[in-house]
Amino acid sequence: MSKSTPLAVVILAAGKGTRMRSDTPKVMHKVLGLPMVNWVLNTVSCLNPDRTIVVIGEGMDALAASVAPHEYVIQNTQQGTGDALKAALPALKGFSGNVLVLLGDMPLLSPDSLEKLVIIRNMDGVTGISVLGAQVEDPFGFGRLLLNEDGTLKAIREEKDASEEEKQTNIINLGAFCLDSRRVERWLLNLNNKNAQKEYYITGLPEMAAKDNVKTRIALIDDPREAYGCNTRMQLTKLEITAQEMMRESFIEDGVMMQDPSSVYLHYDTQIGPDTVIEPNIYFGSGVVVGSNVHIKAFCHFEDAVIGDGTTIGPFARLRPGARIGQDVRIGNFVEIKKSTIGDRSKINHLGYVGDAIIGTDVNFSCGAITVNYDGFEKHQTIIGNGVMVGSNVNLVAPVALDDGAFVAAGSTVTKDVPADSLSVERSPVKVHRGWAALYRKRKGNKK
């Protein structure tokens, strides 16, 4: 966002979240794997603010660490949003411009909505406040935005303080304000706590502004789903569902095919290229990057994995942290890969485990083959060159290396390096005892 007026952002994040039934501060609860407050921080970064201040509560060390390197201040008393904004005043000393005030438990607000809020605050010389709102079918539980005949804001009423007539309006307050920094301190000092909760609310600021003949205008969001906040576990669940839905839609619009979007679970940092096809029941953990033209078959689980263009994965495949899959690779059913690099066009089609390995290009890693990477104390690496054929039910006991073009016979347990273009056969001699089975059954039968 380009701006001519300086912008400071204050995020109110000191709530303990008592109704969450948790010792974790409310804004530290995660949506798509990211704390809610970090969603808000990521969004405001798109506005290029001159400073960002987070208001936290006493003893919230984990929250302070999570918002770093942004500045934070401590709200020593829990007396409402007005009290929280007062705690940020020392950090705003000397600042002149727009002050954007946001709630730390509103993770789905978009940069476009916040940019609209800032633009409306600066639309003329008599607008000192802009408030973000939403028009919804069911406003129950939300504060209401009460309008004057000219469309400017007259007042904000919390549900508990609203009259029956005021409750009929369906324009709700989302708790996001853009304020003229020159007047913020005086307005805050004039707030009172004459309300059901006996707290100081920033929702009282428009009435303070009106006494100065300063107008308050509203900015309405385009997507009502951005309005979701969080005070309870159930609301957190609904936030997760909504965020998943919005992220899936974004990928689909960018060219990703999801056969059953509701069964695909994404992480906030998931990346997926166009023309990728995703079958049902897929879980993306943190740090997953998927290229273009990838086919992900049903029932796969990925964490901290990179998948190259044109690759096919699954069904029932698991890529654990450190899996790096090249282009045009085939990873089949019941294959698990951990901390390993798989070269282009290689195949691990079924029933295999690859851990702590580097596998070259055009390798065939056959059914039932595994890397034996752990000796009970340390992990060891397996290195496989290009064009290697690893037969079925092979154990590669690390540390071990197979050079380019090597073959390993099925059923082998390989404990020594295999030179290029060589065949390794490590099997015990076959011993056949004729008639043994019949004698064994007869002996056992006579004991009954």
Q: Could you tell me which residue, 18 or 278, shows the higher pLDDT? A: 278
266 lies in some domain: yes
Average pLDDT of the chain, as a whole number: 93
Give the CA dihedral 312, 315, 316, 321, nearest 10 degrees: 20
180 lies in some domain: yes
37 lies in some domain: yes
CA atoms of 130 and 57, how far apart (whole Å) = 27
Same domain, 154 and 290: no
Same domain, 221 and 242: no
Domains identified in the chain, total number: 2
Average pLDDT over residues 27-40: 96
End-to-end CA distance of the chain: 87
pLDDT (0 to 100) of residue 62: 93
Q: Could you tell me which residue, 1 or 419, shows the higher pLDDT? A: 419
The active-site residue, picked from 29, 301, 350, 380, is 350
Tell me: pLDDT of 2 over 70. no
- In this structure, are strands 305-307 and 289-290 parallel, antiparallel, or unpaired? parallel
Domain boundary among 227, 259, 280: 227
pLDDT digits (tens, 9 = 90+) for 348-402: 999 999 999 999 999 999 999 999 999 999 999 999 999 999 999 999 999 999 9
Q: What's the burial of 416, exposed, middle or buried (CB within 10 Å: 0-12/13-18/19+)? A: exposed
Which residue type sits at 180?
Answer: D
pLDDT (0 to 100) of residue 327: 98
Same domain, 301 and 410: yes
Same domain, 214 and 281: no
445 lies in some domain: no
Q: Which two tokens stand for residue 178?
A: 């853009």
Tell me: pLDDT of 438 over 60. yes
pLDDT (0 to 100) of residue 448: 53
pLDDT (0 to 100) of residue 163: 87
Average pLDDT over residues 134-142: 88
pLDDT (0 to 100) of residue 190: 85
Of 263, 353, 338, the C-alpha closest to 305 is 338
pLDDT (0 to 100) of residue 356: 98
Tell me: pLDDT of 65 over 70. yes
116 lies in some domain: yes
Q: What is the CATH number of the domain that holds 264?
A: 2.160.10.10
pLDDT (0 to 100) of residue 84: 92
Same domain, 327 and 217: no
Domain that holds residue 192: 7-227
Same domain, 272 and 149: no
Threshold 0.85, pTM exceeds? yes
CA atoms of 338 and 327, how far apart (whole Å) = 18
Instruction: Verify whether residue 267 is a known catalytic residue.
Output: no
Q: What is the pLDDT confidence band of residue 120, given thresholds at 50, 70 and 90?
A: very high
- Residues ≥6 apart with Cβ < 8 Å to 418: 400, 401, 402, 403, 406, 408, 424
Same domain, 53 and 24: yes
Same domain, 193 and 331: no
Same domain, 172 and 242: no
Same domain, 52 and 184: yes
pLDDT digits (tens, 9 = 90+) for 11-22: 999 888 788 888
pLDDT digits (tens, 9 = 90+) for 284-333: 999 999 999 999 999 999 999 999 999 999 999 999 999 999 999 999 99
Q: What is the CATH number of the domain that holds 123?
A: 3.90.550.10
311 lies in some domain: yes
Of 346, 268, 274, 335, the C-alpha closest to 299 is 335
With beta carbons less than 8 A apart as the criterion, state whether 301 and 284 touch: no
398 lies in some domain: yes
Tell me: pLDDT of 342 over 60. yes
Average pLDDT over residues 58-68: 93
CA atoms of 197 and 155, how far apart (whole Å) = 18
Same domain, 349 and 237: yes
Domain boundary among 227, 260, 281: 227
Average pLDDT over residues 228-242: 93
pLDDT (0 to 100) of residue 18: 80
433 lies in some domain: no
Same domain, 221 and 243: no
pLDDT (0 to 100) of residue 430: 82
Share of the chain above pLDDT 70, in %: 98
